[in-house]
A = this chain, B = another copy of it.
Amino acid sequence: MSRTFSLDEVSKHNSPSSCWVIISNKVYDVTEFLSAHPGGAKIILKYAGKDATAAYEPIHPPDALDKNLPREKHLGSLDSAAASAVKEAAQNRRKTQDELRVAAAHAAKLPLSRMLSLWDIEDVARKVLSYKALAYYASAADEETTDRENCRAFSRFFFHPRVMRPVSQCDPSTTILGFKSSIPVFVSGAALARLGHPLGEANITRGAGRAGIIQMVSSNASLSYAQIAEARVGPQQPLFFQLYKHQDDRIAEERVREIISLGYKAIFLTVDAIVAGNRERDIRAPFELEEQEREADKAADSTDKSKGSPDMPAKQEKEESGNVNLLGTAGALIANDDLDMTWERTIPWLRSITKLPIVVKGVQCVEDAVLAAEAGVDGILISNHGGRQLEYALPSIEVLYRIRKQRPDVFDKLEVYIDGGVRRGTDVLKALCLGAKAVGMGRPFLYAQSAYGEEGVVKAVDILEREIVRAMRLMGVSNVKQLVPQMVERVDWQPILSRL
């Protein structure tokens, strides 16, 4: 690693036969890695012989190169002239239209104190997120029906509120796998937080720690698991781990052992995302963004012909578009995951390498809830991955409702959680009435940290806590144990939603 390189030298390795890239002033030979890159060779070759830092950083944890690229391919560092040149080029780079839009949106956003609901925060986030980030965060499968229906399903559950019950003392806290949570809500695993904010997952970790709720950390986080563990507000802050199991058991085991050693407290084995869902908004994003920039450039060029060219070239659409990456971001993230997990094989394997509680994330029907209980896991998370995987998976709250109706015994055998479509304290309470121990939320915390960083996460929990306590009181309930199935009714009409 002591060798240094000039830009000139690096720039000669600009082809599939010899492909070097610069990331944070270090030089890597990725020639042999090209074919193994889950995101495809093409995106790397775009930066062959050049600096790739800006594109690389937001979607890879810092330890990714250490974990995936043999030591001998870490060639060395840029010499100081090269480092300066790279730095200067980055600074002088003409901002894209999208970057300008984002900067303006950040400048104009309302202060955090004006956020009354998670919808308010989402509205801000949708304005301040880059096109690419929003496409990744918001996208869902096919026509995004299950995503939309996740939300709409909650609206069919109404309360039977009770009156004349003492509620001045009202405690919304609960435990999840034995760990205390200030409200019955946890952060569901959500990848690539750095797409939305430079500090990424650490915002969520610190915010959750301060607010007293638990974060489930995605295998596909954009910070390393260690960095996230270090971001905790204290060593007692519990973290859960969302395990995407590698198809190679040994690699998977390595990942598990890593998070055990970092002090993570439970494993959420992800079974609803063994292949990537068809997230067309995400897949289309690069093309639509290119077209936007091209349009903007055209307009700009016609008024001002003196400026330099932006980063993204206007040429060659026809040829390039021949290679649409149909997997999208998600596909790249999970390209090597295990497609052949089974109750019989995978649970015992996981039990054999850890004593941590095991939760199966992605149960989507009554039958599998029963099988999970029989397999002896500690919990299930009813989840359709935010509608991002199988289009026309039943909305999560509907699956919960069916378990309550058909197999209430499941709730005695393990803890049941749900995620998908939760936006309000009343949503949380509906799930708890039906038997959920807690409710996961993913996108809302990504939006909160994107818009307002760590403070946004604290605020989101604060909003939820106020909503939960108020609704508990208005339901005549002073602690979560009093939330029972008799207090909700699934109605036979579809309310009109003012959001959606």
Contacts and interface: CB of A to CB of B under 8 A. Distances in A.
Interface of A: 110-111, 113-114, 116-117, 142-145, 148-149, 152, 155-168, 247, 271-272, 274-278, 280, 283-284, 287, 318, 321-324, 326, 339-343, 346, 360, 362-368, 371, 384, 389-394, 398, 424, 426, 430, 466-467, 470-471, 473-475, 486, 489, 491-500
A163 B500 contact: no
A495 B318 CA distance: 37
A290 B247 CA distance: 58
B365 A287 contact: no
Contact of A148 (B143, B470, B496, B500): B496
B164 A343 contact: yes
A145 B342 contact: no
B113 A164 contact: no
A144 B339 CA distance: 43
A491 to B, nearest CB: 8
A160 B394 contact: yes
B271 A164 contact: yes
A347 B299 CA distance: 67
A318 B109 CA distance: 11
Contacts of A111: 318, 321-322
Nearest to A167: B339
Given A321-B111, A393-B159, A340 B142 contact: no
Contacts of A159: 364, 390, 392-394
- Ranked 10 nearest A-B pairs via Cβ: A160-B365, A168-B339, A390-B474, A166-B340, A163-B271, A161-B364, A143-B498, A158-B394, A164-B343, A113-B322
A162 B394 CA distance: 12
Contact of A493 (B156, B475, B486): B156
Contact of A471 (B149, B339, B391): B391
Nearest to A380: B163
A489 to B, nearest CB: 7
A498 to B, nearest CB: 5
Contacts of A426: 142, 390-392
B278 A346 contact: no
Max chain B CB contacts within 10 Å: which of A158, A426, A499? Answer: A158
